[in-house]
Amino acid sequence: MRRGAVTLPPAPQVAGIVAAASKPAVVLIAAKIGAATAPGLRAPHCSRTGRDRRDRSRPFTRRKNRHHGRDIVDLHRIRNLSVVAHVDHGKSTLSDRILELTGAVDAREMREQFLDSMDIERERGITIKAQNVRVHWRGYTIHLIDTPGHVDFGYEVSRSLAACEGVVLLVDAAQGIEAQTLANAYQALEHDKEIVAVLNKIDLPAADPDRYAGEIERVLGVPADQVLRISAKTGEGVAELLDVICERIPPPSGEADAPLQGLIFDSYYDQYRGVVSAVRIVNGTLVSGTRLRFMQTGRTHEVEEIGIRAPANVAVAELGPGEVGYLIAGIKDVGEARSGETVTTAAHPASEPLEGYQDPKPMVFCGLYPLEGDDFADLRDALEKMRLNDASITYEPETSGALGFGFRCGFLGLLHMEIVRERLEREFDLSLIATAPSVEYRARLTDGSTVEVHNPSEMPEPQALEWIEEPFLTATILTPAEYTGTLMDLCQNRRGDMVRMEYLSPERLELVYRIPLSEVVIDFFDALKSRTKGYASLDYEPAGWARADLVKIDILLNSVPVDAFSAIVHRSAAHDYGRRMTERLRELIPRQLFDVPIQAAIGGRIVARETVKAKRKDVLAKCYGGDITRKRKLLEKQKEGKKRMKNIGRVEVPQEAFIQALRLEE
Amino acid sequence: MPRAAGPGPIAAPAAGEDRPFGVYVHVPFCVSRCDYCAFATWTDRFHLAERYVAACVAEIRRAPTGWPPSAGALSGGVAPPPAGWPAGVPRPASSVFFGGGTPSLLPARLLGQLLSAVPISRGAEVTVECNPDTVDTATLRSYADVGVTRLSFGVQSMVPHVLRALGRRHDVEAARAAVRAASAAGFAGRYSVDLIYGAAGESLEDWRATISAVLALDPPPAHVSAYALTVERGTPLAADRSRHPDPDDQADKYLLADELFAGAGLRWYEISNWAAPGAECRHNQLYWRQGEYLGVGCAAHSHARVRHPVAVAGVGGSRRWWNVRTPERYVDQVESGRSVVAAGEVLTPAEQRLEALQLSLRTRAGVPGTALAGWREDPALDGLLATAPGDRAVLTARGRLLASEVALRLHASPAPR
């Protein structure tokens, strides 16, 4: 199951994309969307693939007594749980408070840690938290498994759920439950996980816990009087929360003597240690130094180190059933230790792998091209390195008539795409052109075969096409009731069909639409945000395929088709797309030394045309003593500008034109 | 005459006293400021005029140092310039130019003080920029008496509503009167007219009317400068988009002007300058030929060539420097014996070549054919360049309108070895 979700905080201006975590990383990253007010992308670095390697500076603990002996923890005294929360609803603060309260980190260290994380946070605009942390509370061992609070990475929630028995659902007592949190809660319910609902921030003047407890009861069936009320900031109610966790969340089950079955639910690449995986032991015992079989890949690897995070890394000799820890086995590629993989011993393997889950598949595709053709090899290397840590990226070489050699890349969603592109540019110092994002289509040809279309250029000729189908989503929007009209209008414009409309409370309602993915990938989030002043939240999940009347529209510059601007669109929207794109390009393409026609064509038929008139004047009127230096500098600047132009059909197109043209607003 | 141009080797400047040398004197006072103007000029500081002129005289009289600058002093970088930068007037000036501002606001007495401070060679050209409404025959006669040989009138337009749109104070009749006065003072055939095209509301016919009226002046000008109205940052004009000129309209007006001036025997010799043969402004040509000049007064720029045009990497072929911007600061610096130089630069050979290319391209001299290597087949340059005697390439009228683009393309092409 994969799902994406976009959270729309009521912050006035959230940059188009907000920082998010890239990847499978044990160090998990929750975007502080609400706090991101700076324009532009605040891309997270990925130190492990990029040039900045600061955050791997702490090596895994190497104590003299490295494998210190210890008993396997009593299964019945283990509690494994995930904290599910909307961004900014206080998950980080709660984690800090729990670490402090349980003595996992003393007050002095706490302060240091806090400062440390603030440093990185300031630099990256993100929050970083240990994903799985072991704490002790009144005789119980609790594993806190963090989940990312955002967007295209919603699928990670399902990873976390697979490793735990219960969920703490953390909701801001001043804002109520948001779409993605609700979706995650439903997912937890589907998997029979125990839900502990918690209203946080009750110390806020605007807190209205009674109202939102009622809302939680209505939408999730958790009795309002069972909803805990805490303030992670002041610490009020946190101890009670830990007690309730120990009381309500069931212990894991498993056999210590059975053949080993361990579930890998996350992996990342560490430049010093190779792949580090998060593992949950289901049955049997994982012993350091044994030879493991990875049941999906069939490969065997020797355990170099196992350990727990408390929250510092502590190597241990063995991990028993119900325990969560990390595993290092000399693996160099995260693709060989993917989430959902089952590890067992090579000597006494389990007969069956655990029920895994599929890694998410790319939903959004675009071409990435280096602005300078010479950078192609650098781009390939950069993508390789990115993939080391983010197995969900796909890429394959592609050639564009207009843009030269590049890669067709697949991403989990638009946010993921933007982040990856931004990181490629920042961390690998590349200048890239990204083509219009597209989804995967399935085309049935007249000869009975079916082809997948990831790229407008792969679209079969109309005469060879039987039919074409496109992916759909079920989109769930939670919104203040006053925006219902404008949101219904938006969804209808995007070819959405309403599935359901339901009031959560007199002020808030849930809208559910079935809507083509292609209508969501471009700018749906932005539109939703701007129409609701940021108050609506969105979650979506795949909802199958359906046939549609889709056509390919081409944009020609000086009679040369620019495949970067080609798009597959619904026939009803094709003329509009052509008109908007040609008009926009007319504004974006600077006047050249000759007239430049810009045309939009469906098949061979021109449906829109604009002309960039030849420029006639480009000269400074005066050039005397005081003008000469200025004029030379201007020319030098123009020369630099020319370097950043792409030549297409003799037309010099600034990189900015590509970026701007592909940003079609409402 | 050194005429370094193109990416070829830098031409060595001729040695000796006969090398042209110009002195520019900036007069930063105006009665009112036109709203398109970004020059260093002020309407409220005329009370500084006496001290300002005295300061300029002091700057001119400073012992010449560093002319010509030695290669050893060239340590690169921008402001503040190293000690030992050129100062003073190293040899008699072949041209003096009083620009502004409104130099004609200066009484002949002050102008005379300035001029008498400058060592001048025989037959030097001495130009004063004048506003038509600040001159009369008596003033101009006194100018002639102190050595002025040439006048440049800021006429701008001969159409009343265009003059108003430009915010000019004078009227059409003032321009005619100024020319009559010039003639009476002996400047017939030795005056120039400045024009501006592209003001809000100026039609092509208005522009044609301006040109016709200028050519019909009695006596007619031997020199005209016609400038496309340019939006300079920070001016009131910049803030009012509705009055920004349309580049296509200005292109039409340029071509019309070129045609009408040529018909009257004024041929173009720089993008915005036309003259009867022999009436070209010698001083301004120094700028376009990378000649040497000393700028006196606030915000004035100077340029000096290096003794050895060494092609050693990182060593400049010339230096340029400029004075502090405001008159009060300038006066202060001089009176307290400090340098008036605000900043300067040492040009690398590459920068010097680029300047040579773009400056020379603006002129009738054009650039050496070698600069065209690799671009002979560029269809985009078709019709923008024409060949001229001596294997040179010169901009056509259409090409002059696109001079920046042409310079960029020539510069971007690989330099011949």
The CA distance from A76 to A73, in Å, is 9
Structure tokens at B266: 């004024």
**pLDDT tens for each residue of A84-103:** 887 677 777 888 888 888 87
Return the pLDDT at A498.
95
Residue A290 has pLDDT above 60, yes or no: yes
**pLDDT tens for each residue of A567-587:** 899 998 899 989 999 999 999
Confidence of residue A70 (pLDDT cuts 50, 70, 90): low
Question: Under an 8 A CB cutoff, do A620 and B230 touch?
Answer: yes
- The residues near A541 (Cβ < 8 Å, ≥ 6 apart) are A1, A2, A3, A4, A183, A473, A474
Mutate to test the interface with A, among B41, B284, B321, B354 (most CBs of A within 10 A): B354
Q: How far is B194 from chain A (nearest CA, A)?
A: 12
Residues of B in contact with A633 (CB under 8 A): none
CA A169 to chain centre: 20
Return the pLDDT at A73.
75
Confidence of residue B6 (pLDDT cuts 50, 70, 90): very low
The chain-wide mean pLDDT, for chain A, equals 79
Q: What are the C-alpha distances in Å from A633 to residues B259, B315, B358?
A: 32, 19, 11
Mutate to test the interface with B, among A594, A622, A627, A629 (most CBs of B within 10 A): A629
Residues of B in contact with A632 (CB under 8 A): 351, 354-355, 358
**pLDDT tens for each residue of B77-96:** 344 555 556 778 888 999 99
Helix runs in A68-134, H state only? 91-101, 107-124
Higher pLDDT, A126 or A566: A566
Question: Under an 8 A CB cutoff, do A650 and B254 touch?
Answer: no
**pLDDT tens for each residue of A394-422:** 999 998 877 789 999 998 877 778 778 88
Return the pLDDT at A445.
93
A to B CB pairs, distance under 8 Å: 101
Phi-psi sector, A75: left (phi>0), alpha (psi -120 to 50), beta: alpha
Q: What are the C-alpha distances in Å from B34 to residues A58, B41, B199?
A: 66, 10, 12
Percent residues over pLDDT 90 in chain A: 35
Structure tokens at B295: 């700028």
Residue B387 has pLDDT above 90, yes or no: no
Mutate to test the interface with A, among B402, B409, B410, B413 (most CBs of A within 10 A): B402
**pLDDT tens for each residue of A420-434:** 888 888 888 898 888
The CA distance from A52 to A192, in Å, is 41
H helix and E strand count, chain B: 13, 15
> What is the sign, positive or negative, of the torsion defined by CA atoms of B71, B77, B81, B83?
negative
Q: What is the mean pLDDT of residues B250-271?
A: 97
Closest CB to A635: pick one of B301, B345, B358: B358
Residue A177 has pLDDT above 50, yes or no: yes
Return the pLDDT at A133.
83
**pLDDT tens for each residue of B113-136:** 999 999 999 999 999 999 999 899
**pLDDT tens for each residue of A359-391:** 677 888 989 988 877 899 999 999 988 887 677
A228-229 vs A194-200, strand pairing mode: parallel
Confidence of residue A47 (pLDDT cuts 50, 70, 90): very low
Residue A237 has pLDDT above 50, yes or no: yes
In a 10 Å sphere around its CB, with 0-12 CB exposed, 13-18 middle and 19+ buried, how is residue B295 labelled? buried
- Highest-confidence segment of A266-270, A320-324, A551-555, B263-267: B263-267
Residues of B in contact with A629 (CB under 8 A): 301, 320, 345
Higher pLDDT, B78 or B369: B369
Higher pLDDT, A528 or B159: B159
Residue A4 has pLDDT above 60, yes or no: no
Q: What is the mean pLDDT of residues A42-65?
A: 36
Determine if the pTM surpasses 0.80. no
Return the pLDDT at A358.
59
Q: What is the mean pLDDT of residues B196-207?
A: 97
Question: Under an 8 A CB cutoff, do B401 and A623 touch?
Answer: no
Return the pLDDT at B167.
87
Q: Which of A255-259, A541-545, B7-11, B352-356 has the lowest mean pLDDT?
A: B7-11
Q: How far is B184 from chain A (nearest CA, A)?
A: 30
Residue B416 has pLDDT above 90, yes or no: no
Question: Under an 8 A CB cutoff, do B284 and A624 touch?
Answer: yes
Helix runs in A138-278, H state only? 155-162, 179-190, 209-220, 238-248
Q: Which residue does chain A place closest to B304, by CA atoms?
A: A625
The CA distance from B293 to B23, in Å, is 6
Give the other-Cβ count within 10 Å of A448's Cβ.
7
Q: How far is A621 from chain B (nearest CA, A)?
A: 5
Question: Under an 8 A CB cutoff, do B251 and A622 touch?
Answer: no
Neighbouring-strand partners of residue A169: A84, A197
Return the pLDDT at A403.
78
Residue A468 has pLDDT above 90, yes or no: yes
Cβ proximity of A426 and A43 under 8 Å? yes
Residue A127 has pLDDT above 70, yes or no: no
Q: Which residue does chain B place closest to A613, by CA atoms?
A: B248
Residues of B in contact with A593 (CB under 8 A): 380-381, 384, 402, 405
User: Which amino acid belongs to residue B83?
Assistant: A
Confidence of residue B15 (pLDDT cuts 50, 70, 90): very low
Question: Under an 8 A CB cutoff, do A618 and B303 touch?
Answer: no
Q: What are the C-alpha distances in Å from A173 to residues A204, A234, A277, A594, B127?
A: 8, 14, 35, 62, 80
Q: What is the mean pLDDT of residues B201-210?
A: 98
**pLDDT tens for each residue of B130-169:** 999 989 999 999 999 999 999 999 999 999 999 999 988 8
